[in-house]
Structure 1
Amino acid sequence: MGLSWLFVVPLFANDLEQETQAAQLPTIVSEATPSEAPVKPAEHVDLKDVVQEPQDSAVADTSSAEESPSMEPSPPPESAVIEHEQNTDDQPVTESITSQEPVATQTPADIEEPVGPLAAQPLVMLGSEVAPGTSARLSWTPNVSFMGIAAPTPVLVVHGAKPGPRVCLTAAIHGDELNGIEVVRHVLYSIDPAELSGTVIGVPIVNLQGFRRSSRYLPDRRDLNRYFPGNPKGSSAARIANSFFSSVVQSCDMLIDLHTGSFHRTNLPQIRANLRDPAVEALTRKMGSIVVVHSAGRPGCLRRAASEAGVPAVTIEAGQPLELQKQAVTHGIKSVETLLDTLGMLDRRPFWELKAEPVFYQSKWVRATAGGILFSDVSLGDRVKAGALLGVITDPITNSRQDILAPVAGRIIGMALNQVMYPGFAAYHIGLHSSVEELKSEPVEASDTVDEDGDSSLPEELVPAETDERLLEDS
C-alpha cells in the first residue's frame, strides 16, 4: 500500500455546521468562522478511483471559488486536482493529474437515492451538504494564520445510501505519526457509498503543519493533543483544537483516533480506552481481535474530550513514528473494518489470526535507572515473567552495565527502540494480567498512571523533577 493522496480543495468550504445538527450535540462555540454562511451542495467524488499518471504541476487558484457568487457547483473538471505536500520549502504544490481512464464524476442530482424509511438524509457539515450515496472531499480551515496562506485540511466523507451511525477516523494529530494516515486513506478509498449504511468521515492529517515539517508538534512547539476540546479565545493550539472539535468531531457518533508510539518508541497494535465508560467499553468489543489497554487518557487529549462530550472514542496505537509499517497499518485497517462490519455499516468480515486478544486493565512502564545505550532482549508481544531480563543499558565510556528486569509478569505492549537512554526514560510497557473486578475496586487515580505514550500521568506536582517533560505526553 502506498500513500496515494487525492486531496482536493473543494469549491465551497467553511467551518459552520447546520444549527439543527449542532443542537443535537454538546455545544462548544467556535468563533473561527462566520455565523451566517450558506450551505452549498458538495460535489460527488469517486473516492474509489486511483490516480496513476501525474502531469505538469500548476498553481491552484482557490480565490475564485471563494469569491464566486454562484450557488451551483462548477462542471466536473477533465482532470482531478490534488494538493501534494512537499517538505522542501513547506509550501503546498498543486498538481493536475489524470487517470488512465476518464473519471465519471457525478453530482448528487445524478445519483438515484433510495426512498422510504431506508433512505438516508443529506449530511451537512463544514458548510457543505453531502447527498446520500455519495462521497466528497471537504476541507476544514482553523483560521489561525494569515488568510492568504491558510492551508485547508482535507476531510474525506463517504455518506451511505442507507441510514446508520457516523464514524469518524482521525490520524496525524501528531504530524510525525504516519501509520494512521495510511489506515484512514485505505479505509475511506475502499468504500462504495451505495453499499454503506451510515457515514464514514476521515481526516488523514489533522496536524497538517506538523506533517509538513515531519514534526510531532504545531509550529509553536505545542502538542495539539493536549488542548481538546479547545478554547476559541485561547492559545493558537487551543483555537485550532476548538475549531476542529466543533466543526468535525461533534458531527460524529463515535471516534477512532489513530496514533503510534512517540520519541523513538513503538507500540504493539492496541486500543487505548477508558473501560470505566460503558459506551467506550462497548465500542472496543466491536473492533476485533486486538489488544485492549485501559487508560482514561489525560485531560486535553482528543479521545477523552470526545467521550466527555458524548462521542464515545478510543485510540488505536500501532507502531512507531516517522515510518510506515505494513503490519501496523494492516492491523489498524482490520480493526476499523471489523467495527464497520459489526455495526452493520459494511459487509467486510476481516479474518483474524487469533480469535481473541487480552484486555489489560492495568499496565506498568519500566524506566531506565542509569544512562547509556539500550540493547533490548525482548520484542513487542513477548510474554515475560517477573525478574526476566528485558534489556541492558551500557555506558560506552565506563563500560558499566545496568540490567533492566521485569518487575511483574505480563506482556510487552510497548517499548523504546534501541537508543541513548537517561535515568527516568520509559523503556518497556508491560500489560498486566488483571481482571475487570480489580479495575472496578481500584481508585481512579491509581490505575490511570500511564499516558498514551506509556508515561506517567501523575499530577505534575508528584512527578520527579528530573523527569523529561516530553515523557509525560500522550502519543
Structure 2
Amino acid sequence: MAKREKATIDHWQGQEVPIGQSTDVKLAVSESYTGISLKIPIRIIRSQNEGPTVFITAALHGDELNGTGAIRQLLCDETLSLKCGNLILVPILNLLAFDRHSRYLPDRRDLNRCFPGSESGSLASRIASQIFSEIIGRSDYGIDLHTASVRRTNYPNVRADLRNPEAKRLAFSFGTEVILDASGPLGSLRREACHVGCPTIVLEGGEVWKVEPRIVETAVRGIKNVLVKLEMIDGEMDRPERQVVITRSQWIRADRGGFLQFHVHPGQIVETNQPLATNTDLLGREQSVLLAPYEGVVIGMTTLPAISPGEPVCHIGKFQKSTAGEELLESRSDSDNSLEERLVEHLASNVMVTEREPEGDSPAQP
C-alpha cells in the first residue's frame, strides 16, 4: 500500500469549510470548448468533533443515476446529523458524461479506468487526477455507487477487496446479501483509492438512466449502516440476516442469435443445470437452452431479449458452500416485507419470466 499525506478539509480550493456546518463547494476539473470552467458541485458536512472523512460518489459513469438519487435523498435528509467526522457528498462525479447521457467522456474514455490520473495527460486522466487529489486525497473511507451497464440490470451487491481489513469491514457493514470479493479493474477509483490507503467499496445495483426506489433505499440504508459502524451517526444497523461472499462468477453467453424467454430474474437462487433462458427464433421455435453451470445467485442479467451469438445473458455468482442458497432463501422468508424480498420483486418486473423444468444433467451452454 502506498503511503500518502491526507489533505486537510478545512479549506477547499481557497474556500473555507467551517467545522459544524454544511458547506457547498465546487471542484474545477476541466474547461468547456469556450474556456468556461467545469465544476463538480459537492456538499461537505462537518461535525463539531474530529473523526473520519467519508466520501460518497455517484455517476462516475455519467448514465448511472441510481446513486445520484440516493445521494440526493441524503442531501434532503434533515435528520442526518454527524456525531463526528466529515461527509463528502458528490451526486454527479462525471459531469461531462452526465450531460451527454453517456457512460463515457467526450474523448470516449472510461473515467473509471483512468485513476489516479495525471495532471498532464488526456482529458480523462486530468479529470481523474483532480478528483483523486481533491476528494480521495481528503478521505479516510469511500463508497462509490454504480449500476449495471446499458441494457442490463444488477441485483444489488457490494464489491470490495476483502484482503483489505477496512474495506472488508465496510463491505459487510453496508449490508447487501451478496458481496463480491475482488480488487477491481486497473485504474478504477476503488482499486486505486485502496492502494493509497483510503479503503473504498462499490455498490452495484439496478439499471442506467433510472432512479429506482428500491435501489435507492438499498444505497441509503447501506451508507447509513457504514456511518453507524464508523460511529459517525447514531442508530441501529439494518442488515439482512445472511450475507454471502462470492469469489467466482461467470457471464453465461448466448450460443446463437435469437429471442430470449427468461426463466430467472435478478437475485434468484439457481441450481446446477437450472434453465436460465430459452433461445428461440422469431416464430417461437426453440433453438437452445442456457443452463446454470453451478449453484449460485443471479447477480445480473440482460434486459434486452434480442440476442446475438456470444452476447452475455446472465451473470451467476457461485456459492462457496452448498447450504448458501438455502440460507439466503430462509433469511428472506423469515423477514416480513424485507428490503431483499421487495428488491427481488421489483427487479423481476424488468424482465418477463416463465418457468421451465430442469433438463436433467444436460451440459451448460458456452
**Same-fold status (TM-score > 0.5):** yes
Output the amino acid matched with 2:250. K
Instruction: Measure the CA separation in 2 of the matches of 1:253 and 1:244.
Output: 15
Q: How does 1:231-270 map to 2 (within 5 A)?
A: 231-270=118-157
Q: Secondary structure at the match of 1:340?
A: helix
* Residue 123 of structure 1 pairs with residue 10 of structure 2: yes
Instruction: Measure the CA separation in 1 of the matches of 2:313 and 2:305.
Output: 10
Task: Report the CA distance between 1:326 and its aligned residue.
Answer: 0.6
Contact 1:368 1:422 survives alignment (8 Å): yes
Q: CA offsets, 1:401-426, max 9 Å, x none?
A: 22111111111111111332222222
Between the two proteins, the alignment pairs up a number of residues equal to 319
Which residue, 410, 415, 440 being the options, matches 2:296? 410
Partner of 2:255: 369
Partner of 1:326: 213
Name whichever of 222-231 and 395-404 sits farther off: 395-404
CA radius of gyration, larger in: 1
Partner of 1:341: 228
Q: CA offsets, 1:290-311, max 9 Å, x none?
A: 3211122110111111111111
Q: CA offsets, 1:295-339, max 9 Å, x none?
A: 221101111111111110110011011111111110111011000
Identity of aligned residues (%): 36
Q: Secondary structure at the match of 1:296?
A: coil
Instruction: Measure the CA separation in 1 of the matches of 2:261 and 2:27.
Output: 44
What is the RMSD of the two structures over their aligned residues, measured on CA atoms?
A: 2.2
Partner of 2:106: 219
Output the amino acid matched with 1:355. E
Contact 2:55 2:87 survives alignment (8 Å): yes
Q: Secondary structure at the match of 1:414?
A: strand
Partner of 1:47: none
Q: Secondary structure at the match of 1:299?
A: coil
Task: Report the CA distance between 1:147 and its aligned residue.
Answer: 6.2
Partner of 1:358: 244
Which residue, 389, 393, 418 being the options, matches 2:275? 389
Partner of 2:5: 24
1:371/1:127 Cα in 2 relative to 1: closer, same or farther (>3 Å)? farther
Partner of 2:53: 166
Instruction: Measure the CA separation in 1 of the matches of 2:35 and 2:83.
Output: 38
Instruction: Measure the CA separation in 1 of the matches of 2:84 and 2:177.
Output: 24
Contact 1:223 1:237 survives alignment (8 Å): yes
Instruction: Measure the CA separation in 1 of the matches of 2:286 and 2:29.
Output: 51
Task: Report the CA distance between 1:152 and its aligned residue.
Answer: 1.3
* Residue 424 of structure 1 pairs with residue 310 of structure 2: yes
| Structure 2 gap segments, 5+ residues each | 322-366
Task: Report the CA distance between 1:246 and its aligned residue.
Answer: 0.9
Task: Report the CA distance between 1:362 and its aligned residue.
Answer: 2.0
Task: Report the CA distance between 1:167 and its aligned residue.
Answer: 0.6
Q: How does 1:87-126 map to 2 (within 5 A)?
A: 123-126=10-13
1:163/1:127 Cα in 2 relative to 1: closer, same or farther (>3 Å)? same
Task: Report the CA distance between 1:129 and its aligned residue.
Answer: 2.3
Name whichever of 311-320 and 188-197 sits farther off: 188-197
Instruction: Measure the CA separation in 2 of the matches of 1:361 and 1:254.
Output: 23
The alignment's TM-score, normalised by the length of structure 2, stands at 0.82
Instruction: Measure the CA separation in 2 of the matches of 1:127 and 1:290.
Output: 42
* Residue 313 of structure 1 pairs with residue 200 of structure 2: yes
Which residue, 143, 151, 161 being the options, matches 2:38? 151
Task: Report the CA distance between 1:250 and its aligned residue.
Answer: 1.1
The alignment's TM-score, normalised by the length of structure 1, stands at 0.64
1:193/1:359 Cα in 2 relative to 1: closer, same or farther (>3 Å)? closer
Q: Secondary structure at the match of 2:38?
A: coil
Q: Secondary structure at the match of 1:197?
A: coil
- Bigger relative CO (Cα 8 Å, ≥ 6 apart): 2
Partner of 1:95: none
Contact 1:123 1:159 survives alignment (8 Å): no
Instruction: Measure the CA separation in 2 of the matches of 1:418 and 1:392.
Output: 13
1:122/1:274 Cα in 2 relative to 1: closer, same or farther (>3 Å)? closer
- List, as ranges, runs of 4+ consecutive aligned residues in structure 1 with deviation greater than 3 Å: 144-148, 191-196, 397-400
1:193/1:400 Cα in 2 relative to 1: closer, same or farther (>3 Å)? closer
Q: Secondary structure at the match of 1:141?
A: strand
Which residue, 170, 183, 188 being the options, matches 1:301? 188
Output the amino acid matched with 2:302. A
Instruction: Measure the CA separation in 2 of the matches of 1:276 and 1:194.
Output: 32
Instruction: Measure the CA separation in 1 of the matches of 2:78 and 2:111.
Output: 29
